[in-house]
Amino acid sequence: TEIDIEPSSKFTRFIITVENLGNGLVFDTRPGSGKIELESCSPRGKGLERIDIDKVTIEDARVGDSPIIGSCRPDNGGLVQARLVNGKAVFICEYNYAEGGSTGLSAFRTPITITLGYGYRTSVSKQIEIVKTPG
């Protein structure tokens, strides 16, 4: 995951790249998707549908105390969600200086906080030998 910064005179654009660095499967667990994380991982459960796989959601985005989630894209009807392609997804968010109350500052430091929502499933297998005991 990385964040690139493109400053301008009125706003700063943040290009946020998230990446699945593991061998597991990323899936959508947002409310209303019909998925409950543990059910999706169970071999006895309903399982995952293709539409749920490789989706990551930005649940919250802030620069300092200022929310910027409303500026984030891709915006799918109020839901900031992207599909991983080749293990990566890109979001773009903007911090408007006037809206954030930073109009008089030439430069400043503040944290950017991004809260992601996703499920993650991986499996481990091991060969075992079943031995019948006498009796």
Across-strand partners of 55? Answer: 83
Q: How far is it between the farthest Cα atoms of the chain?
A: 85
Written as six digits, the tokens of 9 are 């005179």
Percentage of the residues of the chain whose pLDDT score is greater than 90: 50
Give yes or no for residue 102 having a pLDDT over 70: no
* pLDDT, tens digit (0-9, with 9 covering 90-100), for 16-27: 999 999 999 999
Q: Say if residue 103's pLDDT is above 70.
A: no
CB 94 within 8 A of CB 67: no
pLDDT average, residue stretch 37-61: 78
| 99 pLDDT more than 80 | no
Cα distances (angstroms) measured from residue 20 to each of 7, 26, 39, 48, 113: 27, 7, 21, 18, 19
- Strand ranges (E), 20-125: 25-27, 55-63, 66-67, 81-83, 88-96, 112-117, 119-121
- The pLDDT value recorded for residue 77 is 78
Q: Out of 36-40, 52-56, 126-130, which region has the weakest mean confidence (pLDDT)?
A: 36-40
Contact 13, 6 (CB under 8 A): yes
Residue 86 phi, psi dihedral angles, 5° rounding:
55, 35
Kindly tell me if the per-residue pLDDT of 60 is higher than 80: yes
